Amino acid sequence: MKCFFLANKGVEIFRLDAIAFTGKTLGTTSENQPEAHNLVRALNALTNIAAPSVIFKSEAIVHPDFVNSYISKEECELSYNPLLMALLWEALATRDVKLLRHSMKNRFKIPHETAWVNYVRSHDDIGWTFSDEDAAELNINGYDHRQFLNQFYVGNYRGSFSRGEAFQHNPDTGDMRICGTSASLTGMEKALQKDDPLEKKYSVRRMTLMYGISAFIGGIPLIYLGDELGLLNDYSYRDHPEKKDDSRWVHRVSVDKETLQKRKKPGTVESEMFNNISRLISLRRSEPAFGKADTLIHDLQNRHLFCFGRSADRTKILYIGNFSEHNTSVSGYHLMKILNCDPDDILDDLWSEQSVHLTDNLDIEPYQFLVLKLERGSSR
């Protein structure tokens, strides 16, 4: 088997592409058939004998129920998290975290011996893989909501900040998926076209907000090449006959030396994003609570604020992110109840490097996020 050859070369993780479609059965859609699970289990059993250090990573861009069904010690110990990715973009468009919060409460937890692989962008398109059942529980019509998201991210919706491109648009059903770099999808391209410094600031904050969640919520965070520099869409693919019919090339951007050097030039988008991503990595590495600790999703009774908690030993960390361009606030008393702390306890915001007191309401700026750390015995 080729995987054994690669394992002998030192490869330890194998990505199983389109795993949900590996079982083919006549008369069905050949999606999520029992044979797919049997095949992966057999492959897992063989590698456990011949190459026990090898583990598998699932790539299943299907209904969330089926995504989770491939995650286990017996099948794939790692899995891409397409639901988190899609709903981060959904929350940015709606400025409302209710679907993100609801879905993560119900679907984020997986067995302790497994882990999510979290991502914001990838070489592929964005598909709206949320559960229609989850959406219906919040009085959201799944089909209509996908139509809104598609129009928002291709820039056709009033008030959209995005400059994305449609992928595999079906004019009969309205179905499509979205392509574009994080920077272009979060408003940087529009901001530069209109010379709007506020929107430029917001774009950087939107990207950093999402990458912060990817880094801290639990699992293995990925960085898509170019996002650490805030690169824009590359439309030159339209001039290449072999690429022009595949809009995914718009975000498969090459990086030249001149652009790379801008990361060292203060005041550039490249520098700001590079420093932000570097800080997120350093912070992730410095706090044990971002490791194997359980993740608890919290409801702050504010539709703009997404919140989750992590803990390890005597340390508790609370992430709060504002998904809107409006100032908002959260009750300090509410946060004290979540953290089970006293009014005298002082928290450190690891991102802003400032101390936070919870005796009053906590004000949060547009697209700002806080990483609040409470360490027992930290009252000062």
pLDDT at 376: 65
Q: What is the mean pLDDT of the chain?
A: 94
pLDDT digits (tens, 9 = 90+) for 26-79: 888 888 889 999 999 999 999 999 999 999 999 999 999 999 999 999 999 999
pLDDT digits (tens, 9 = 90+) for 101-117: 999 999 999 999 999 99
Determine whether 17 is an active site residue.
yes
**Catalytic member of 17, 144, 245, 294:** 17
Whether the pLDDT of residue 16 is over 90: the answer is yes
**What confidence tier does 240 reach under pLDDT thresholds 50, 70, 90?**
very high
Whether the pLDDT of residue 379 is over 60: the answer is no
State percent of the chain over pLDDT 70. 98
**What confidence tier does 380 reach under pLDDT thresholds 50, 70, 90?**
very low
pLDDT digits (tens, 9 = 90+) for 206-228: 999 999 999 999 999 999 999 99
pLDDT digits (tens, 9 = 90+) for 163-178: 999 999 998 888 899 9
**Catalytic member of 12, 31, 35, 59:** 59
**What confidence tier does 96 reach under pLDDT thresholds 50, 70, 90?**
very high
**What confidence tier does 291 reach under pLDDT thresholds 50, 70, 90?**
confident
pLDDT at 348: 94
Say how far apart CA 84 and CA 96 lie, in whole Å: 14
Query: Contact, 176 vs 150, CB < 8 A?
Result: yes
Determine whether 96 is an active site residue.
no
Whether the pLDDT of residue 86 is over 70: the answer is yes
Q: Which domains can be identified in the chain, with CATH numbers?
A: 118-286 (3.20.20.80), 295-375 (2.60.40.1180)
CA neighbor of 283 nearest in space, from 364, 369, 367: 369
State percent of the chain over pLDDT 90. 84
Residue matched to tokens 């400025």: 95
Whether the pLDDT of residue 89 is over 50: the answer is yes
Whether the pLDDT of residue 250 is over 60: the answer is yes
R_g of the chain computed on alpha carbons: 21
Q: What is the 3-state secondary structure (H, E, C) of the chain?
A: CHHHHHHHCCCCEEEECCHHHCCCCCCCCCCCCHHHHHHHHHHHHHHHHHCCCCEEEECCCCCHHHHHHCECCCCECEEECHHHHHHHHHHHHHCCCHHHHHHHHHHCCCCCCCEEEECCCCCCCECCCCCHHHHHHCCCCHHHHHHHHHHHHCCCCCCCCCCCEEECCCCCCCCCEEECCHHHHCCHHHHHHHCCHHHHHHHHHHHHHHHHHHHHCCCEECCCCCHHHCCCCCHHHHHCCCCCCCHHHHHCCCCCHHHHHHHHCCCCHHHHHHHHHHHHHHHHHHCHHHCCCCEEEECCCCCCEEEEEEEECCEEEEEEEECCCCCEEECHHHHHHHHCCCCCCEEEECCCCEEEECCCCEEECCCCEEEEEEECCCCC
Whether the pLDDT of residue 259 is over 90: the answer is yes
1-15, 230-244, 248-262, 310-324: the lowest-pLDDT one: 1-15
Whether the pLDDT of residue 294 is over 70: the answer is yes
pLDDT at 6: 86
More confident residue, 294 or 88: 88
**What confidence tier does 377 reach under pLDDT thresholds 50, 70, 90?**
low
